A = this chain, B = another copy of it.
Amino acid sequence: MDSLPKRDANYVPLSPITFLQRAASVYADRTSLVYGNTIFTWRQTYERCCRLAAALQQLGVMKKDVVSVLAPNTPALYEMHFAVPMAGAVLNAINTRLDATAAAGIIKHADPKLLFVDYQYMCLATESLRDGEAAGSISPLLVVIDDLNKPEETRIGELHYEQLVERGDPEQRPPRSVDDEWDAITLNYTSGTTSSALKGVVYSHRGAYLSTVGLLLQWGVGSEPVYLWSLPMFHCNGWTLTWGVAARGGVNVCIRTPAADDMYAALSAHGVTHMCGAPVLLNILVEARREPLLHAVEVLTGGAPPPAALLERVERLGFNVTHAYGMTEATGSAMVCEWRERWNALPTSTRARLKARQGVSALSLADAAVVNNIDTMQSVPRDGTALGEIMLRGNSIMKEYYKDTAATASAFRGGWFLTGDVGVVHPDGYVEIKDRSKDVIISGGENISSVDVEMALYQHHAVREAAVVAMPHPHWGETPCAFVALEPGFSCLGEVTEEDIILFCRDKMPHFMVPRKVVFVDKLPTNSTGKVRKIELRQRLHGCSQSAPGDSRPGSALAGKARL
């Protein structure tokens, strides 16, 4: 059994590139992508990617070089997910919602050889590059991505995306397989809200391949999917579905922004079967429409648990929601709330509660543990109550944080990746996240999940937004403080007072969990991906503008605070 070497015929390094090569062969004449009036087949998409890869190499792009891109969900951004790694390089898709300073920070850190910029983001890009130049970093070569649907408009810039596609030698095919499946394929920056928190997550070809296949299977993406690009591709490479749609030979429906009109128009025009988005996207969908869809659409949501009322409304329209939990470091989904047939018979509220859970580990993971002691790796009991930190292990976990050995060292421990998220395990094995470890409030030795308190606050009819953070307390160490934004028509001066909120909470939870203070705000501060900036709320309470120690690294904050 020992003398059986690997051969070209039976050992092919895992890479999502093979999905495109296969699609070009077996789904050759099927539609790969629709973007306004632009339609490509899988043969064409592959051809274009080969040409672009060849052109990148002509421009001097070498193996392991970084190529950055600032673009919405256009054909170019989709193609770059294959063409850049086909040239041996590493794709870095930058969040287009960042400001120039944040984008400049990423460009400086990633140090790309080329920067591709959609025409709409030229101002952001040039501003970022000016910032970067001032800071002494090298300027990448800039390539402008024009709008395929508006070829008549001439844009600024020396080098254009379509020129490169045209220039690439169509005969210069990429190698049949990558050298090493452990090679980097993409570099994704997490949505850190301070420059010190900027972390570049590196994926391998192997991790990307396995994560893609796992998600397709757990989400149940069957044959001939029509996928609407409502989720930005710069989020974990579109939760791996950039590659996933190629694996299934589906149709990519590209839209520049997830506006309700554009999404509904695409749903009916192209017979969309699948789409993704954070709960805020579900909100956009329900607010724009009353009548049910003509065909069911599968929606994968994540980033935050979808609230019950929202789930009910969106499902009534004909969207079938699957809830997943993930993070950039886990190549998208780390858990999927796999739905059970028998749950369909339960009352709406129970179903919503079950669906809001993060679920069971992704197939691409070997293991997910919820432990109450990182040193002994003691798992919490499956009682739905005991809090523990979620740890992950498997091929979908990132290689490392790019150029950041300190952050990498604190993210990995004892053969596990520390998520910094705190949750419980229900008797049926489903995990429910209760908090970020840094957001857990420790009051008199008791752990309080800020999310539990927030969920109670959301039950108050006048509460539109709620966030709970730890407030220093001389006796208890910490105690909860609630930040609340009221629904239009309500005011904290009249209808709803701090005392009302506190009394409301007393009915809903143990006394030690009840916020001691309620701060009314017009709107909660959020970052570019829509997450509440709790650090800012804590700073307001502390009355200082510096980061609290450990805030940049959730995992270490937990460890520094107390063992859960």
Contact = CB atoms under 8 A, between A and B. Distances in A.
Interface of A: 1-2, 4, 6-12, 14, 18, 21-22, 25-29, 64, 90, 176-177, 182-184, 202, 207, 210, 213-214, 216-217, 220, 222-224, 247-249, 338-341, 360-361, 363, 365-368, 392-395, 397-400, 402, 412, 415-417, 428-430
Given A29-B428, A366-B21, A394 B1 contact: no
A387 B213 CA distance: 33
Given A9-B393, A29-B428, A224-B341, A4 B399 contact: yes
A64 B1 contact: yes
A8 B224 contact: no
Given A27-B429, A202-B1, A222-B220, A417 B10 contact: yes
A340 B217 CA distance: 19
A222 B338 CA distance: 10
Looking at A2, A338, A429, the one whose CB has the most chain B CB atoms below 10 A away is: A429
B397 A9 contact: yes
A378 B361 CA distance: 45
Given A25-B361, A26-B361, A393 B8 contact: yes
16 contacts: A1-B183, A1-B184, A6-B182, A9-B392, A9-B397, A10-B412, A12-B393, A12-B394, A14-B210, A22-B361, A22-B366, A27-B429, A176-B366, A220-B223, A224-B341, A247-B363
A563 to B, nearest CB: 20
Number of copies: 2
A10 B397 CA distance: 5
Given A213-B214, A247-B363, A11 B220 contact: no
A111 to B, nearest CB: 11
A10 B366 contact: no
A131 to B, nearest CB: 25
A10 B217 contact: no
A8 B2 CA distance: 24
Contacts of A365: 22
Contacts of A428: 29
A340 B398 contact: no
B4 A400 contact: yes
A112 B311 CA distance: 56
A544 to B, nearest CB: 35
A10 B429 contact: no
Contacts of A8: 393, 415-416
Q: Which 9 A-B pairs have the closest CB atoms?
A: A8-B415, A26-B360, A10-B397, A12-B366, A4-B399, A1-B64, A1-B184, A4-B400, A9-B417
A331 to B, nearest CB: 10
A402 B340 CA distance: 43
Nearest to A6: B182
Nearest to A24: B429
Contact of A213 (B11, B213, B223): B213
Nearest to A395: B12
A29 B64 CA distance: 46
A335 to B, nearest CB: 9
Contacts of A12: 366, 393-395
Q: Which of A210, A217, A398 has the most CB of B within 10 A?
A: A217
A361 B10 CA distance: 15
A454 B415 CA distance: 59
A249 B339 CA distance: 12
Contacts of A394: 9-10, 12
A109 B12 CA distance: 29
A122 to B, nearest CB: 28
Nearest to A408: B4
Contact of A412 (B7, B14, B90, B367): B7
Contact of A367 (B25, B28, B339, B398): B25
Contacts of A4: 184, 202, 399-400
Contacts of A25: 361, 367-368, 429
A451 B18 CA distance: 32
B366 A412 contact: no
Nearest to A19: B363
A328 B453 CA distance: 57
Nearest to A359: B26
Contacts of A402: 1
Nearest to A402: B1
Among A214, A249, A365, A397, max chain B CB count under 10 A is at A397
A10 B203 CA distance: 10
Nearest to A63: B1
A429 B24 CA distance: 10
Contacts of A429: 25-29
Contact of A338 (B11, B223, B398): B223
Given A7-B415, A9-B393, A26-B361, A1 B90 contact: yes
A365 B176 CA distance: 12
